[in-house]
Amino acid sequence: MPVLTFRLDDDVAQRFAALAAVSGGRSALLRRLIGDALAMEAGEGHQAPRARQRATCRVEVRLIPEEIAALDRAADVLGMKRTDWITTLLARRLRANAPLPREERAAVAQAWRELNRIGINLNQATRALNASVMVESGLDVAREAARVASFRSEIVDALAGLGAALKGDLRYWDMADA
C-alpha cells in the first residue's frame, strides 16, 4: 500500500489531529477526504461521511423559543451546531460514548503531544544513565537522575490534565440522577 508524506504547519496539524481523533484517526480521515475528492472529480458528488458509515433516520423535536435559545447557548459554548449538540447528548445517554467537545479535544491533543515529548526526553535520559555506568563516562549521574524525576512530575501533570478533560466531558453529558 502506498504511503503519502507531507508537512503541515503546527497549528494546522494540531487542528487536524483533534478533528481526526473523533473521526477514526488521521489515516481514516485522510483516506475519506481523498476518496471524497476523487468522487467529486469523477462527478459522483460529495458523499457525507455519516451516509457511508451508517443509515440515519430523522427525528423532529418541538421546543419553545426559550428552550431553543438555551440549546443554542449550550451548543455555542462547545463550538457545536444545535443538531450536533443534541446527537452528542443522545449518544452519551444511549451508548455512553459521545465525542469530546472541540476545546476538550484540543486539550487532549495537547496533553498527548506533551506526553510524547516527555517520553522521548525520558528515553534519552535513561540512555544517558545506562551509559554512565561505564568507567570512562564523565556523566553526572545525580543530575541525570534529577532529570528523570522531573520528567515523572511532568508526566503526572500531563496525565492529570488529560484526565480532567475526559472527566469534564463525561460530567457535562451525564445527567444528575434525581
State the 10-residue block means of pLDDT for the chain, 178 residues long: 78 81 76 80 59 67 94 88 86 68 76 81 77 68 76 78 68 60
Rounded Cα–Cα distance for residues 108 and 24 (Å): 15
Q: What is residue 71's predicted lDDT score, i.e. its pLDDT?
A: 93
DSSP H/E element including 28: helix 26-41
Nearest CA among 10, 157, 169, 16 for reference residue 103:
169
- Which value, in Å, is the radius of gyration of the alpha carbons in the chain? 23
Instruction: Encode burial over 33-45: b for 16+ CB neighbours within 10 A, e otherwise.
Output: eeebeeeeeeeee
Domain regions of the chain by residue span: 10-43, 65-97, 102-172
| Amino acid residing at 85 | W
How far from 51 is each of 44, 57, 88, 112, 157, CA to CA, in Å? 14, 11, 17, 31, 40
pTM over 0.75: no
Q: What is residue 16's predicted lDDT score, i.e. its pLDDT?
A: 82
Nearest CA among 123, 124, 129, 122 for reference residue 144:
129
Q: What is residue 63's predicted lDDT score, i.e. its pLDDT?
A: 93
Nearest CA among 132, 155, 158, 157 for reference residue 144:
132
C-alpha cell of 11? 497549528
